[in-house]
Amino acid sequence: MSDERKKIDEEELARIARDYQTKVFDEDKPEKNEQNFLSLDYKTFKTEERGSKKSLGNYEKLCAISEKILKVEPSKGSEEHLRKEIDFTNLQCAPSSVTSAAFLSTIMLLVISLVFILLGAVPIFVGLTMLIFSMISGVYVYGYPSKRAKDFRVKASEEIVLSIVYMVISMRISPNLENAVKFVATNLTGPLALDFRKLLWDIYMRKEESIDKALGTYIDARWKNENEEFSSALTLIRNSIDQPEKKRLAMLDEAVDVILKGTKERMSHYAQNLRMPLLIIHAMGILLPIMGLVMFPVLVLFLSNIVQPYMLFLGYDVFLFLGLYWYTSSVLATKPPTLSKPDVSKHPDTPREGYFRAHVFGKKLEIKTIILPSILFAVLFFIGYNGMVSGASSFERVIYSTVIIASISLSISLYGFLESFQRTSVRRKVIGVEGEFAEAIFHLGNQLSSGTPIENAIDKNQEKIRDLSISDFFGRIVQNIKRMGMTFEQSIFDKNYGAVWYYPSSLIISVMRVVVEAVRKGVYNASQSMLSISRYLKDVHSIEEELRDILGESTTSMKFLSSILAPMVAGVTVTMALIMLDIIKVLGDKLAGLTQQGVGTSLPLFLTVGLDKGGVTAEIFQLVVGIYMIEVAGLLSYFVSKIETGEDKINLYHTLSINMLISLIVYAFSILTVYSTLGSQIQNTILGGI
């Protein structure tokens, strides 16, 4: 191609670029830029920003339709609060539409409930329950933006520490604030990553003048009142830009210290304040309700025409559980930020979500997790139901009804196990490698400080850390360089043979990107960067261990409560109720016989009715208590998992599978042991004197 032709092509490309900029970007109308900018990246970002289209869209449609039917304006204070939460969660609705939806949904459900009650279509107790739920639904609709904002803050808080560490690492390599924000947006995966991507798009779309001002606005609007340490650390990073080199590095180090110390202090206070909520959950949510059921057989005797099985089910398995869930959720909503857990979704040994891997006839397949638990549930439920219906004695029917409880508990336990066991092993390996990574980077930095080329430094470093699991990672880098002639960057990130893909830890990937960038700027610069990164990672690991110790007492007591104490008390309660039923039945039969012989007078009504005639049989009673036991075990497993690891589904499923199995064993063992050892003795002692 001639120089003249090349010049013409360059001028043409420049003209097309100017026309495109003129057509797409309008500095006076940033909203027009947003409409005209048609890049795939921006569309992807907007999709992520909107979140789950299905779940959010239904709520937004409800608000829009309700406002058209009956518009209800909120008060000034409520409007400001709603607008803040709506903006925070990116919901596409107005405060007036939220209040309209809450008011209209409450009115409509109240009217429907009253119609059912007046027509006699439902029992009065069920009608009252419908009235209560109609009011609760209105409160839920009104508070949905606040609830979603709390969920967002909890999820985002898990990445707060890592986001500061990533920004500081990037700023040490290159004092460029925009690159630091881009580095965080690229290497995080949660809600906080979405926030940082939005900052970048606000700059690209000319909504903000500079990244410094955009970050300042973000601090004031989002986190200034929510997390003082996070906003202070971000401010230190912003202000370090204009400082001399020595002071700039000191301010960056201070930013990491501020967020780590603040996180530790918040968690210490949270653990101290957690004692009273745990006591309330223990006493009011588990022990007292279950022990109170011991008196239920006596209550049924006197109110046999009023008390029905569905009342017991609604009272304990619905209302009490919802109250306990609401309280535990409110306790979790105040949880301070913790450290994020490794993402193992990209690991080659990790199956797809909702699947587990197994060898079937010599072939490695991915099987849907729900299949085996569903089969187990169906088989056990069929056995339990048939036995409960056809059982000869009350104890036999109770045993078969316990099989129904086992069908629920075991299927949940099996699902949690299948969903977590392969991922747990992978995560354990990744966590082990990440724990050794700081030491490996430190040794590599020391090797580079003497001026050794990066390739030779990695080779020597591998020999020093060969007793660690992470040594295989550096060994692959060396092999790629020596045997395949790759560059340092290619040996790590090559699509087919890159060493990092055999250790798909987001932390390792992120740090190695920084290391590659630092090596480009010289061996000395890379050495200093690695030593700093090593210190940051060690500090983060140290804080993580301290947080685990701080929460250890609380989580241990909750695990004992959910898997041992609660099912044991529930089992003893069911057994005592069963013994009381047997005693009342035998007592009623004997007194009825005496009456027929003319020995006594007519019997009181409560001795002639019996529980069976009242509708709440022993097996139904066991089902209610057993279901509540399952709910408590599941809820406390959820609570413990959230406290320990936050939004970590792997740990949640793992905890759930263990607690469900143990609680079922303890519950069934308590019923069998107490009844077989004490039941006959108590009956003989009481009835022997008659």
pLDDT tens digit sequence for 362-394: 778 888 999 999 999 999 999 999 988 887 777
Q: What whole-number distance in Å separates Cα of residue 131 and Cα of residue 15?
A: 68
Nearest to residue 218, comparing CAs of 150, 230, 81, 206? 230
**301 confidence band (pLDDT: 50, 70, 90):** low
Residue 208 is given by DSSP the state S
The pLDDT score that the predictor gives to residue 304 is 58
Residue 624 makes CB contacts below 8 A (sequence gap 6+) with: 309, 312, 313, 316, 317
* Euclidean distance between CA atoms 155 and 160, whole angstroms: 10
pLDDT, one tens digit per residue, over 576-589 is 777 777 676 666 66
Q: What phi-psi label fits residue 442: left (phi over 0), alpha (psi between -120 and 50 degrees) or beta?
A: alpha
Distance CA 612, CA 398 (A): 13
- Range list of H helices, 494-617: 506-520, 523-560, 566-596, 605-614
Q: What is the mean pLDDT of residues 431-459?
A: 81
β-bridge pairing 363-368 and 355-360? antiparallel
- Residue 414: pLDDT over 90: yes
- Where are the domains positioned within the chain? 39-134, 160-272, 274-429+541-684
In this structure, of 53-62, 225-234, 482-491, 594-603, the range with the lowest mean pLDDT score is 594-603
Residue 27 has pLDDT above 80, yes or no: no
Q: Which of 582, 581, 574 is nearest to 671 (CA)?
A: 574
When the pLDDT of each residue in the chain is averaged and rounded to a whole number, the result is 77
Q: Which tokens hold the place of 494?
A: 């090559």
pLDDT at 15: 45
Which of 573, 590, 574 has the alpha carbon at shortest distance from 687?
590
pLDDT of the residue at 376: 95
Residue 166: half-sphere exposure toward Cβ, Cα within 13 Å: 28
Q: Is the pLDDT of residue 117 over 90?
A: no
pLDDT tops 80 at residue 109: yes
Q: For residues 61 and 48, what is the distance between their CA atoms, to the nearest angstrom?
A: 19
pLDDT cut 90: percent of the chain above it:
7
CA atoms in the 13 A half-sphere facing the CB of 397: 17
Task: State the pLDDT at residue 174.
Answer: 81
Q: Tell me, what's the pLDDT at 598?
A: 54
Q: Which residue has the higher pLDDT, 687 or 486?
A: 486
Cα–Cα dist 33/42, whole Å: 11
pLDDT at 591 over 70: no
pLDDT at 411: 95
Stretch 135-163: mean pLDDT: 81
Cα dihedral 341, 342, 345, 350 in deg (nearest 10): -110
Q: In which element (H, E) is residue 213 found?
A: helix 211-218
Please compute the mean of the pLDDT values over residues 456-484 and round it to a whole number: 82
Closest-CA residue to 415 (of 683, 661, 579, 191): 661
pLDDT above 60 (res 605): no
Instruction: Say whether pLDDT at 38 is over 50.
Output: no
C-alpha distances in Å from residue 466, one per residue of 441, 444, 446, 471, 507:
14, 13, 16, 5, 21
pLDDT above 70: residue 11: no
